[in-house]
Amino acid sequence: GDKKGLLTEYLTDHDEGIIALSIEVSDLGKARRLAESSTGSTLDTYNGFYGPSFLLSPKVTHGVWIEMFQTVDHLH
């Protein structure tokens, strides 16, 4: 999907508050598999600001975008 379009749409529908959280994980693959099994959705990884990442939609996180990332120096 178009991440800029999703963010713009989200901001239009919400007032002030926390928009997103970025959380470092030690094993991105394990975190993604756990998130996919918990949400029943397929999550794409991308190269984010902090390194390999994936996003959880506010639809499954009670209103906040959550980005999980693994820094390059923690990759095996």
CA dist., res. 52 & res. 46, Å (int) = 6
Report the predicted TM-score, pTM, of the whole model to 2 decimal places: 0.71
pLDDT, tens digit (0-9, with 9 covering 90-100), for 20-75: 899 999 999 999 999 999 999 999 999 998 999 999 998 898 888 899 999 877 55
pLDDT, tens digit (0-9, with 9 covering 90-100), for 55-64: 999 889 888 8
In sequence order, which residues have a C-beta less than 8 Å from that of residue 23 and are 6 or more positions away? 66, 67, 68, 69
Strands 65-69 and 52-56: antiparallel
CA angle (51, 47, 15) in 5-degree steps: 90
56 token code pair: 């959880």
